[in-house]
Chain A
Amino acid sequence: MSSTLKPEDAAQLHDAVQWAVAEEKPLDVVGLGTKRAIGRPSQHEFTMDLSALTGVTLYEPEELVLSARAATPRAEVEQLLRDKNQEFAFEPPDLSGLLGASGPGTLGGMVASNLAGPRRIKAGAVRDHFLGFSGVSGRGETFKSGGRVVKNVTGYDLPKIIAGSWGTLAVLSDITLKVLPAAETEGSFAVEGLSDEMAVAAMSRAFQSSCEVSGAAHLPEGLLGAAATVFRIEGIGPSVEYRLEKLAALLNDLGASEKMDPEASRDLWRSIRDVSFFANGSDRPVWRLSVPPMDGAKVAAAVAAKCEARWFFDWAGGLIWCEVPEADNASEQIVRAAVAQTSGHATLIRAPQAIRAAVDVFHPPEPGLALIAQNVKTAFDPNGILNPGRMYASA
């Protein structure tokens, strides 16, 4: 039974990590624990519960910047942003339905996972909006990097390496993010009946137009009924109207398109963002594949040829969410072989713990990069006390 440390401020966090370093006690770093089901099960004796480190410490809407303690609940921050017609432009997903968790979690978890939603393709990921942080590294030392301004090249861009590091390099206490105005309105339309290949080509055409598409997804036949390729446009009213019409005209050779009102559009894109189609209470493995957009259909077909999979595409084909049958190996070989045709990578987002302990959850890096990644881990956490084994068996 592991014990839990629950620091109440940055100073206590510092002391707690220092103690863990001195005693060589590996820590499981947790905010609200909503993403604990992602990653390899880490080997730890103590849980570092950050949930007391909450509160927004700075929000200046006109400066497009927000700072908060690391475990501030996302729901609280997102409400604050909504009140000022702002948002996180990267559209962070709420995977609680998929993972059977209690909610969208904390800012720290959002940063540590670097997961972004449909607008990723236009607005970037968490890493592109993560301006600065303060935290404690696995050396037990409090340090900071970045700042509170958007344009900053002072020293190495450590926020980049912290985003998506799943708590394996440092425990964050404070986070500063760029925020942006929310679009005044949005509209979507769907083209029905396209094959994956045709859909990927259509989405590419949409992105090669000047319509500033902010979402392009394809839901193959059977997921919701007939196959639907969906396009989203956001902005001010007259501009959205104009661009929707222009895009529909551009794609009218593909058959009739069905226009959605803003509310239906929001609902659908939330489902795509949150992978709700696979939020079925099951434990069936779900993979997240990032590939060059034009390779999307090919990769999905390669998986489908080898197992009974269900999938859909976001990011104009560049992101594939793929549910595979229950199997001890989560069909890892099949998925990785399919991705290996491209420069892309695959991450196992949902699977029973035993499977996550047995297969590579994160994509194994090529040897040259693996060595650098290992060196980076050692640089921040030489004794391997922060979430050891969560990303890679050796780190």
Chain B
Amino acid sequence: MSNLKMPEVDQTALARRQEVAADLRRIVPGEGVIDEAEEMRAYESDGLTAYKQVPLLVVLPETVEQVSAVLKYASDNGIKVVPRGAGTSLSGGALPLADGILLGLGKFNKVLEIDYDNRCAVVQPGVTNLAITQAVQHEGFYYAPDPSSQIACTIGGNIAENSGGVHCLKYGLTTNNVLGLEVVLITGEVVRIGGKHLDSEGYDLMGLMVGSEGLLGVVTEVTVRILKAPETARAVLVGFPSSEDAGQCVADVISSGIIAGGMEMMDKPAIHAAEEFVQAGYPLDVEALLIVELDGPEAEVDHLIERVSQIAEKNNSVSMRVSNSEAERASFWAGRKAAFPAVGRISPDYYCMDGTIPRHQLPKVLGRMNELSQQYGLRVANVFHAGDGNLHPLILYDANVPGELEKAEDFGSDILTLCVEVGGVLTGEHGVGVEKRDLMPTMFTETDLNHQQRVKCAFDPEGLLNPGKVFPELHRCAELGRMHIHRGQVPFPDIPRF
């Protein structure tokens, strides 16, 4: 593990471990409290496996009352808490703390209500993303955001990370598809935000909760919008001689007024890895491959497929296939969906990055990435949510070679810094967590970050919920709240007045 500075370990909490375990067992009886080191090892990391830490204790509550009592206990005793869903975070958002309770919400796995009339579903946070769709698909409905990990990741984790997927440009991220939340605050108080109606009353606290990476509260119930599935979907698979051509094709499709259901790009190394893995029938002699999926009524989809094909031809496409069956459409996606494990086959380890860039900067970013690849002596493969500019470079390395992990991390930092330089951001959908925490100053000033941290203080003034994540430097709330008033010393501004 690279040198990641985490909040100072509270020795008192460590010393009180047995006592805390006993207290928590009174709240969550039976096997709900785990304190055996061996058993806790299952929770020592999330999807960002380079970082590991065995927690103080693991608690697996089953009821909202238990969550509330655990948080109140933690709050009263000044003990840190790290919430966890399925642990699929790629940014270390659920990385445990040595002196913190790991609060696992896996037992909150019930679909509570499906309300087709109001087009929403009420579920517990431990329900997986895919399970929501599975619960409503017999009626032709689905839940739109579809992160690649949807088979395993939970809706609670999706809320924490504001997860996306391949259909975001048309259907939005998690934040655009959540209607209501039940949240337990660090004090143990249970509050409800939103419901089955649209728009919040007063300040949009739900908007703050989504994407807050477990730092503001613990979600115990979620109301999501469900949508009727489109009548049909077809995809076009287009090969290009350069990423510039592919990028221009994407820009032209959007400029012509078409918002595709999905628009994905892969570069040559990713195409080859995917093809070797799943034999999707991808062309191997192209530099960039684009999958464009159109969905809607058949008449519309057929019309748009025709237009997209024409735009692709104008942009020098060298190969094109249009799906003529569901099986064929699925085969186009098979390679893209298997891109990560496919890359995993050609390299002992890979490190998945997640920047977003203005789309027109893609050629520049890919060019620079090639230079960096040579400089670091590490290969890189790219998959790209081309519609919304979200880039996933996969850096190939071997953790058994001393120094390669550090090199991969440095390479990754350089890529993300580059994303910010060209007008983009550090993370499009994986979150900041611990992984990108120390890069936050490349995008934000200290004043920007302090304004964010004061929001944290509004919810959790003692900083007990998931500390050490998102923010590079932890400030005490009292210090952040201080105002230096210079009454009578600030000159009246020299600006027009009347």
Which residues in A have their C-beta under 8 angstroms from that of B207? 127, 157, 159-161, 163
B189 located at the interface, meaning its Cβ lies under 8 Å from any Cβ of chain A in the complex: yes
Which residues in A have their C-beta under 8 angstroms from that of B162? 153, 157
Taking a contact as CB atoms under 8 Å apart, the answer to whether B425 and A147 are in contact is: yes
A82 located at the interface, meaning its Cβ lies under 8 Å from any Cβ of chain B in the complex: no
Q: A6-B497, A127-B207 are in contact. Are A151 and B455 (CB under 8 A)?
A: no
Taking a contact as CB atoms under 8 Å apart, the answer to whether A150 and B201 are in contact is: no
| Closest residue of B by beta carbon distance from A61 | B255
Bin chain B's interface residue count: 35 or more
Taking a contact as CB atoms under 8 Å apart, the answer to whether A5 and B497 are in contact is: yes
| Closest residue of A by beta carbon distance from B486 | A22
Taken together as a complex, chains A and B put the C-alpha atoms of A159 and B258 apart, in Å, by 27
B35 located at the interface, meaning its Cβ lies under 8 Å from any Cβ of chain A in the complex: no
Which residues in A have their C-beta under 8 angstroms from that of B194? 343
Taking a contact as CB atoms under 8 Å apart, the answer to whether A210 and B457 are in contact is: no
Q: A22-B486, A372-B458 are in contact. Are A152 and B303 (CB under 8 A)?
A: no
Which residues in B have their C-beta under 8 angstroms from that of A137? 451
Q: A60-B358, A207-B119, A344-B195 are in contact. Are A380 and B454 (CB under 8 A)?
A: yes
Name the contact of B172 in the complex, choosing from A60, A124, A161 (C-beta under 8 A).
A124
Taking a contact as CB atoms under 8 Å apart, the answer to whether B388 and A239 are in contact is: no
A342 located at the interface, meaning its Cβ lies under 8 Å from any Cβ of chain B in the complex: yes
| Closest residue of B by beta carbon distance from A205 | B117
A273 located at the interface, meaning its Cβ lies under 8 Å from any Cβ of chain B in the complex: no
B80 located at the interface, meaning its Cβ lies under 8 Å from any Cβ of chain A in the complex: no
Which residues in A have their C-beta under 8 angstroms from that of B212? 156-157
Taking a contact as CB atoms under 8 Å apart, the answer to whether B164 and A151 are in contact is: yes
Q: A23-B490, A238-B299 are in contact. Are A154 and B454 (CB under 8 A)?
A: no
Nearest-CB distance from B435 to chain A (Å)? 12
Which residues in A have their C-beta under 8 angstroms from that of B303? 236, 238-239
Q: A149-B389, A151-B389, A156-B208 are in contact. Are A21 and B485 (CB under 8 A)?
A: yes
Nearest-CB distance from A321 to chain B (Å)? 14
Which residues in A have their C-beta under 8 angstroms from that of B426? 154
Taking a contact as CB atoms under 8 Å apart, the answer to whether B255 and A19 are in contact is: no
A85 located at the interface, meaning its Cβ lies under 8 Å from any Cβ of chain B in the complex: yes
Taking a contact as CB atoms under 8 Å apart, the answer to whether B228 and A153 are in contact is: no
0/1 per residue, B65-103, Cβ < 8 Å to A?
Answer: 000000000000000000000000000000000000000
Nearest-CB distance from A229 to chain B (Å)? 16
Taking a contact as CB atoms under 8 Å apart, the answer to whether B189 and A368 are in contact is: yes
B356 located at the interface, meaning its Cβ lies under 8 Å from any Cβ of chain A in the complex: yes
Q: A121-B198, A165-B203, A362-B201 are in contact. Are A160 and B457 (CB under 8 A)?
A: no
Which residues in B have their C-beta under 8 angstroms from that of A254? none
| Closest residue of A by beta carbon distance from B194 | A343
Taken together as a complex, chains A and B put the C-alpha atoms of A63 and B175 apart, in Å, by 21
Taken together as a complex, chains A and B put the C-alpha atoms of A137 and B487 apart, in Å, by 18
B40 located at the interface, meaning its Cβ lies under 8 Å from any Cβ of chain A in the complex: no
Taking a contact as CB atoms under 8 Å apart, the answer to whether A150 and B389 are in contact is: yes
Which residues in A have their C-beta under 8 angstroms from that of B491? 19
Taking a contact as CB atoms under 8 Å apart, the answer to whether A153 and B360 are in contact is: no
B341 located at the interface, meaning its Cβ lies under 8 Å from any Cβ of chain A in the complex: no
Q: A151-B168, A210-B297, A238-B300 are in contact. Are A18 and B204 (CB under 8 A)?
A: no
Taking a contact as CB atoms under 8 Å apart, the answer to whether A164 and B118 are in contact is: no
Which residues in B have their C-beta under 8 angstroms from that of A154? 425-427, 432, 436, 440, 443
Taken together as a complex, chains A and B put the C-alpha atoms of A334 and B162 apart, in Å, by 38
Bin chain A's interface residue count: 35 or more
Taking a contact as CB atoms under 8 Å apart, the answer to whether B455 and A366 are in contact is: no
| Closest residue of A by beta carbon distance from B199 | A290
Within 8 A of B (CB), among A317-364: 318-319, 342-345, 347, 362-363
Nearest-CB distance from B312 to chain A (Å)? 15
0/1 per residue, A361-376, Cβ < 8 Å to B?
Answer: 0110110110011011
Taking a contact as CB atoms under 8 Å apart, the answer to whether A152 and B428 are in contact is: yes
Name the contact of B360 in the complex, choosing from A62, A159, A294 (C-beta under 8 A).
A62
Which residues in A have their C-beta under 8 angstroms from that of B257? 85, 181-182, 184
Taking a contact as CB atoms under 8 Å apart, the answer to whether B357 and A344 are in contact is: no
Taking a contact as CB atoms under 8 Å apart, the answer to whether B204 and A345 are in contact is: no
Within 8 A of B (CB), among A143-184: 143-145, 147-161, 163-165, 169, 180-182, 184
0/1 per residue, B252-268, Cβ < 8 Å to A?
Answer: 10110111000000000
Within 8 A of A (CB), among B185-211: 185, 189-208, 210-211
A221 located at the interface, meaning its Cβ lies under 8 Å from any Cβ of chain B in the complex: no
Which residues in A have their C-beta under 8 angstroms from that of B252? 62
Taken together as a complex, chains A and B put the C-alpha atoms of A15 and B176 apart, in Å, by 36
Which residues in A have their C-beta under 8 angstroms from that of B348? none
Within 8 A of A (CB), among B450-482: 450-452, 454-459, 470, 481
Taking a contact as CB atoms under 8 Å apart, the answer to whether A144 and B490 are in contact is: no
Taking a contact as CB atoms under 8 Å apart, the answer to whether A153 and B300 are in contact is: no
B30 located at the interface, meaning its Cβ lies under 8 Å from any Cβ of chain A in the complex: no
Which residues in B have their C-beta under 8 angstroms from that of A155? 432, 440, 443-444, 448-449, 452, 470
B495 located at the interface, meaning its Cβ lies under 8 Å from any Cβ of chain A in the complex: yes
Nearest-CB distance from A285 to chain B (Å)? 18
Which residues in B have their C-beta under 8 angstroms from that of A24? 487
5 closest residue pairs by CB, A with B: A160-B207, A343-B195, A239-B300, A375-B458, A181-B257
Interface contacts beyond A363-B201, A376-B455: sample of 10 additional A-B pairs, CB < 8 Å, sorted by A: A63-B389, A143-B448, A145-B448, A147-B443, A149-B388, A155-B449, A161-B204, A210-B230, A293-B118, A343-B195
* 16 pairs of residues in contact across A and B, judged by CB atoms under 8 Å: A6-B496, A7-B493, A8-B496, A22-B488, A23-B487, A23-B490, A125-B199, A153-B162, A154-B443, A158-B208, A208-B117, A236-B303, A290-B201, A318-B197, A363-B201, A379-B454
Residues of B within 8 A of A (CB): 115-119, 140, 161-162, 164, 168-169, 172-173, 175-176, 180, 185, 189-208, 210-212, 228-231, 251-252, 254-255, 257-259, 296-297, 299-300, 303-304, 356-360, 385, 388-390, 423-432, 436, 440, 443-445, 447-452, 454-459, 470, 481, 483, 485-498
